[in-house]
């Protein structure tokens, strides 16, 4: 698996993968497991994916960023059971200068949230286990996935 992993995400390895002597600016986004949701206490998260499509969608998003900005990009999403504070997703973009690095990094995480088929189950402190639905009004609103022709 290129973009999906069941191991802790190794940020140092991803940084090294996009580094280069001509690259003077590197931007990094790390999404970590939060200990609360809608005022309820969360103890851990469980991530699953439609793995072949998720891999393909991650690769497409990285390719789009590389076509649009002069950047090198790393994108990795973790699956399985994660504890509070664990990194669930990491995006790193490096370029000669900071602007394309920031822009590409933002693009990749936003598109990944919209398009990559990953789901998570929240385990709450009170024992309740629920699939996260970002379209539920009580949660932070999220745009629906971008739909392309089949």
Partner 1 sequence: MTSVGSGTLRVRVLFFATYADRVGRETEDFILPAPATVGDVVRRVRAVLPGGERIPERPLAAVNRVHARLDAAVADGDEVALLPPLAGG
Using rule CB under 8 A, residue 93 touches partner 1: no
Shorter beta-carbon distance to partner 1: residue 59 or 125: 59
Q: Which of 42, 139, 123 is nearest to 85 (CA)?
A: 42
Shorter beta-carbon distance to partner 1: residue 4 or 101: 4
Q: How far is the CB of 96 from partner 1 (least distance, A)?
A: 28
Q: How many CB atoms lie within 10 A of CB 141?
A: 8
Residues 10, 149: Cα–Cα separation, whole Å: 35
Give backbone dihedrals phi and psi of 141, rounded to 5 degrees, phi first: -70, 140
Q: How far is the CB of 138 from partner 1 (least distance, A)?
A: 13
Instruction: Please give the structure tokens belonging to residue 11.
Output: 């940020």
Shorter beta-carbon distance to partner 1: residue 71 or 108: 108
Using rule CB under 8 A, residue 119 touches partner 1: yes
Q: How far is the CB of 130 from partner 1 (least distance, A)?
A: 9
Q: How far is the CB of 10 from partner 1 (least distance, A)?
A: 18
DSSP code for 104: H
Using rule CB under 8 A, residue 107 touches partner 1: no
Residues 57, 94: Cα–Cα separation, whole Å: 21
Return the HEC string of 8-37. CCCHHHHHHHHCCCCCCEEEEEEEECCCEE
- Letters for 27-66 (x = contact with partner 1 by CB under 8 A, - = none) are ----x---------------xxxx-xxx-x----------
Q: Give the interface with partner 1 as residue ranges (CB under 8 A).
A: 31, 47-50, 52-54, 56, 77, 88-89, 109, 112-121, 131-135, 142, 144-150
């Amino acid at each position: 698996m290129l973009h999906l992993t069941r191991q802790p995400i190794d940020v140092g390895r991803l940084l090294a993968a996009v580094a280069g002597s001509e690259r003077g600016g590197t931007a990094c986004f790390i999404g970590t497991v939060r200990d609360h949701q809608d005022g309820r206490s969360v103890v851990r998260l469980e991530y699953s994916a439609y793995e072949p499509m998720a891999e393909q969608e991650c690769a497409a998003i990285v390719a789009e960023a590389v076509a649009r900005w002069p950047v090198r990009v790393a994108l990795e999403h973790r699956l399985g059971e994660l504890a509070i504070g664990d990194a669930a997703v990491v995006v790193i973009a490096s370029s000669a200068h900071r602007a394309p690095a920031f822009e590409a990094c933002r693009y990749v995480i936003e598109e990944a949230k919209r398009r990559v088929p990953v789901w998570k189950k929240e385990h709450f402190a009170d024992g309740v286990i629920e699939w996260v639905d970002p379209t539920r009004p009580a949660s932070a609103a999220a745009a629906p996935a971008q739909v392309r022709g089949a």
